[in-house]
Amino acid sequence: MSTTTMASLELVELGKFFTVAARRFDAGQAAPEMFSTAIDAAWHRLAEDREAHSEFSQEHAGQELIHAETAGHGTIAWVNAYEEAYGPLPLIWFTNAHGTVNSESLARYRETGVVVAEWDCSPKPGPGDGDDMVPKKTAR
């Protein structure tokens, strides 16, 4: 099965993540932190097919997003925006690439609504977003 036809929970969640990312970028906020290694692994597989990745990104974010190495640890800033759009984070967000659930982090999230995690990447607008070629309109 090709990457473009693969229907998986990881890709569904990656699409939601891209939508949240685009909204954050449009609002001038920082890039969202990718803390799920399961979803990140699906992102890496998708990125192996540049055309499929570009189409996926356009469909979910309305622009090309690329994978950027950004390491950190702390509170995941975009959780509330996700919950407003889609409801509580599903289990896959707390699952690693090998299928093991971080039950401590999941329990903390369910009790407090806060996710504290490590991440090593985030999306960023890609070269095809056009922002650098179009001057911003100013109010007169």
41 pLDDT above the threshold of 60? yes
Single pTM value for the model: 0.84
Closest of 65, 58, 9, 14 to residue 35, by C-alpha:
14
Asked if residue 72 is part of any domain, the answer here is yes
Asked if residue 90 is part of any domain, the answer here is yes
**Residue 39: per-residue pLDDT:** 96
Asked if residue 47 is part of any domain, the answer here is yes
Asked if residue 52 is part of any domain, the answer here is yes
Distance of CA 78 to the CA centre of its chain: 10
Asked if residue 93 is part of any domain, the answer here is yes
Name the average pLDDT for the chain: 87
Instruction: Report how far apart, in Å, the C-alpha atoms of 34 and of each of 41, 54, 103 are.
Output: 11, 18, 18
Asked if residue 126 is part of any domain, the answer here is no
Asked if residue 132 is part of any domain, the answer here is no
Decide if 124 contacts 65 (C-beta within 8 A): yes
**C-beta neighbour count of 101 within 10 angstroms:** 14
Residue range(s) defining the domain that contains residue 96: 9-121
* pLDDT band at residue 128 using 50, 70 and 90 as cut-offs: low
Share of the chain above pLDDT 90, in %: 84
Predicted confidence (pLDDT) per residue in 58-117, tens digit? 999 999 999 999 999 999 999 999 999 999 999 999 999 999 999 999 999 999 999 999
Q: How many domains does the chain have?
A: 1
Decide if 16 contacts 42 (C-beta within 8 A): no
**Residue 127: per-residue pLDDT:** 75
- How far, in Å, CA of 7 to CA of 14, rounded? 11
Strand partners, 21: none
3-8 mean pLDDT: 50
- Name the token pair of 33: 């932190």
Asked if residue 110 is part of any domain, the answer here is yes
Strand partners, 74: 117
